[in-house]
Amino acid sequence: MKNNKVLLWVLGALAVVLIVVVVVYVRRNADTDMTGEDIVRNDTVGGEVVPTEDVSEGSVTTPVAGSGSVTLSYQQALTKYASARMQFDAQCATTPKQATWKNGTLIMLDNRSALPRTIRLGGMGNVSIKAWGFKIVKLSASNLPQTLLVDCGVQQNVASILVQK
Protein backbone atom coordinates (compact mmCIF):
# COMPACT_ATOMS: atom_id res chain seq x y z
CA MET A 1 0.00 0.00 0.00
CA LYS A 2 2.80 2.39 0.95
CA ASN A 3 4.66 1.57 -2.31
CA ASN A 4 1.52 2.46 -4.33
CA LYS A 5 1.33 5.90 -2.67
CA VAL A 6 5.00 6.57 -3.39
CA LEU A 7 4.54 5.46 -7.01
CA LEU A 8 1.51 7.76 -7.41
CA TRP A 9 3.46 10.72 -5.98
CA VAL A 10 6.39 10.06 -8.31
CA LEU A 11 4.09 9.74 -11.35
CA GLY A 12 2.29 12.94 -10.34
CA ALA A 13 5.57 14.83 -10.00
CA LEU A 14 6.75 13.55 -13.38
CA ALA A 15 3.47 14.68 -14.97
CA VAL A 16 3.88 18.17 -13.53
CA VAL A 17 7.49 18.39 -14.76
CA LEU A 18 6.42 17.18 -18.22
CA ILE A 19 3.64 19.81 -18.40
CA VAL A 20 6.06 22.59 -17.38
CA VAL A 21 8.59 21.48 -20.02
CA VAL A 22 5.92 21.41 -22.74
CA VAL A 23 4.56 24.85 -21.77
CA VAL A 24 8.06 26.39 -21.76
CA TYR A 25 8.87 24.81 -25.13
CA VAL A 26 5.62 26.01 -26.72
CA ARG A 27 6.05 29.57 -25.41
CA ARG A 28 9.62 29.81 -26.65
CA ASN A 29 8.79 28.47 -30.09
CA ALA A 30 5.35 29.96 -30.59
CA ASP A 31 4.98 32.48 -33.39
CA THR A 32 1.42 33.48 -32.63
CA ASP A 33 -0.34 36.51 -31.32
CA MET A 34 -2.81 36.58 -28.43
CA THR A 35 -5.61 35.19 -30.60
CA GLY A 36 -3.51 32.28 -31.87
CA GLU A 37 -3.20 33.61 -35.43
CA ASP A 38 0.12 33.17 -37.16
CA ILE A 39 2.25 36.30 -37.35
CA VAL A 40 3.64 37.09 -40.76
CA ARG A 41 6.85 38.99 -40.19
CA ASN A 42 7.37 42.12 -42.23
CA ASP A 43 10.82 42.71 -40.81
CA THR A 44 12.67 41.73 -37.67
CA VAL A 45 15.15 43.56 -35.49
CA GLY A 46 16.67 41.52 -32.69
CA GLY A 47 13.91 38.92 -33.05
CA GLU A 48 11.14 41.51 -32.63
CA VAL A 49 8.49 42.11 -35.29
CA VAL A 50 8.94 45.55 -36.85
CA PRO A 51 6.13 46.17 -39.34
CA THR A 52 6.96 48.56 -42.13
CA GLU A 53 4.81 50.17 -44.75
CA ASP A 54 3.69 47.91 -47.59
CA VAL A 55 4.95 49.93 -50.56
CA SER A 56 3.68 47.60 -53.25
CA GLU A 57 1.17 48.87 -55.82
CA GLY A 58 -1.48 51.13 -54.34
CA SER A 59 0.72 52.92 -51.83
CA VAL A 60 1.58 56.58 -52.33
CA THR A 61 4.95 56.04 -50.67
CA THR A 62 6.94 53.95 -53.10
CA PRO A 63 10.68 53.28 -53.06
CA VAL A 64 12.76 55.37 -55.40
CA ALA A 65 14.94 53.24 -57.70
CA GLY A 66 18.51 53.11 -56.43
CA SER A 67 17.76 54.90 -53.15
CA GLY A 68 16.73 51.89 -51.10
CA SER A 69 13.37 51.46 -49.47
CA VAL A 70 11.61 54.61 -48.29
CA THR A 71 9.14 53.25 -45.76
CA LEU A 72 7.59 54.20 -42.47
CA SER A 73 7.73 51.98 -39.42
CA TYR A 74 4.40 51.12 -37.85
CA GLN A 75 5.11 53.43 -34.89
CA GLN A 76 6.02 56.32 -37.21
CA ALA A 77 2.84 55.79 -39.22
CA LEU A 78 0.66 55.65 -36.09
CA THR A 79 2.08 58.98 -35.00
CA LYS A 80 1.96 60.65 -38.40
CA TYR A 81 -1.54 59.40 -39.35
CA ALA A 82 -3.14 59.39 -35.90
CA SER A 83 -6.09 61.45 -37.17
CA ALA A 84 -6.20 59.83 -40.63
CA ARG A 85 -6.21 56.09 -40.04
CA MET A 86 -8.70 53.35 -40.85
CA GLN A 87 -8.01 50.05 -39.10
CA PHE A 88 -9.31 46.62 -40.17
CA ASP A 89 -9.34 43.76 -37.65
CA ALA A 90 -9.32 39.99 -38.23
CA GLN A 91 -13.06 40.00 -39.02
CA CYS A 92 -12.84 43.14 -41.22
CA ALA A 93 -14.52 45.24 -38.54
CA THR A 94 -13.39 48.81 -39.18
CA THR A 95 -12.39 51.62 -36.87
CA PRO A 96 -13.73 54.19 -37.50
CA LYS A 97 -16.85 53.03 -39.32
CA GLN A 98 -17.48 56.54 -40.68
CA ALA A 99 -14.86 59.17 -41.40
CA THR A 100 -14.67 62.54 -43.10
CA TRP A 101 -11.48 63.74 -44.75
CA LYS A 102 -10.59 66.36 -47.36
CA ASN A 103 -9.87 65.46 -50.97
CA GLY A 104 -6.17 64.75 -51.38
CA THR A 105 -5.67 63.69 -47.74
CA LEU A 106 -3.17 60.88 -47.17
CA ILE A 107 -4.68 58.19 -44.95
CA MET A 108 -3.32 55.03 -43.36
CA LEU A 109 -5.12 51.75 -44.12
CA ASP A 110 -4.08 49.48 -41.25
CA ASN A 111 -4.55 45.69 -41.58
CA ARG A 112 -4.44 44.14 -38.09
CA SER A 113 -5.02 40.63 -39.36
CA ALA A 114 -2.84 37.61 -40.09
CA LEU A 115 -4.46 37.50 -43.52
CA PRO A 116 -3.68 39.77 -46.46
CA ARG A 117 -6.61 42.05 -47.27
CA THR A 118 -8.04 43.64 -50.37
CA ILE A 119 -9.70 46.91 -49.44
CA ARG A 120 -11.99 48.65 -51.93
CA LEU A 121 -12.36 52.40 -51.51
CA GLY A 122 -15.48 53.10 -53.56
CA GLY A 123 -14.65 54.38 -57.03
CA MET A 124 -10.94 54.70 -56.17
CA GLY A 125 -10.48 50.95 -56.66
CA ASN A 126 -8.79 48.16 -54.74
CA VAL A 127 -5.82 48.34 -52.42
CA SER A 128 -4.05 45.13 -51.38
CA ILE A 129 -2.43 45.11 -47.95
CA LYS A 130 -0.15 42.39 -46.61
CA ALA A 131 -0.89 40.60 -43.34
CA TRP A 132 -0.16 42.88 -40.37
CA GLY A 133 0.76 45.59 -42.87
CA PHE A 134 -0.44 49.05 -43.72
CA LYS A 135 -0.54 51.34 -46.72
CA ILE A 136 -0.72 55.07 -47.11
CA VAL A 137 -3.21 56.10 -49.78
CA LYS A 138 -4.30 59.46 -51.13
CA LEU A 139 -8.04 60.12 -51.16
CA SER A 140 -9.17 61.27 -54.56
CA ALA A 141 -12.66 62.12 -55.77
CA SER A 142 -13.62 64.22 -58.78
CA ASN A 143 -17.14 65.19 -57.66
CA LEU A 144 -17.23 66.62 -54.15
CA PRO A 145 -18.53 65.91 -51.64
CA GLN A 146 -18.48 62.18 -52.33
CA THR A 147 -19.03 59.16 -50.09
CA LEU A 148 -16.70 56.24 -50.66
CA LEU A 149 -18.12 52.93 -49.46
CA VAL A 150 -15.37 50.71 -48.07
CA ASP A 151 -15.29 46.95 -48.66
CA CYS A 152 -12.92 44.51 -46.96
CA GLY A 153 -12.45 41.28 -48.88
CA VAL A 154 -15.92 39.90 -49.61
CA GLN A 155 -17.56 41.99 -46.88
CA GLN A 156 -19.23 45.04 -48.33
CA ASN A 157 -19.86 48.46 -46.80
CA VAL A 158 -17.84 47.87 -43.63
CA ALA A 159 -17.19 51.63 -43.48
CA SER A 160 -17.74 54.87 -45.34
CA ILE A 161 -15.52 57.86 -46.04
CA LEU A 162 -16.99 61.25 -46.85
CA VAL A 163 -14.51 63.09 -49.08
CA GLN A 164 -14.95 66.88 -48.99
CA LYS A 165 -13.33 69.97 -50.51
Does a structural domain hold residue 99?
yes
Asked, for residue 21, whether it belongs to a domain, the answer is no
12 falls within a domain: no
The tens digit of pLDDT for each residue in 45-64 reads 444 444 556 666 666 655 44
| CATH (domain of 113) | 2.60.40.420
What's the total number of domains in the chain? Answer: 1
**How far is the C-alpha of 29 from the C-alpha of 62, rounded, in Å?**
34
Average pLDDT over the chain reads 78
Which value, to the nearest 10 degrees, does the dihedral of the CA atoms of residues 60, 63, 65, 67 take? 130
pLDDT band at residue 117 under the 50/70/90 scheme: very high
In the 8-state DSSP scheme, what is residue 58? T
Q: Which domain holds residue 90?
A: 53-164
2 assigned to some structural domain: no
CB 115 within 8 A of CB 101: no
The answer to whether residue 98 sits within a structural domain is: yes
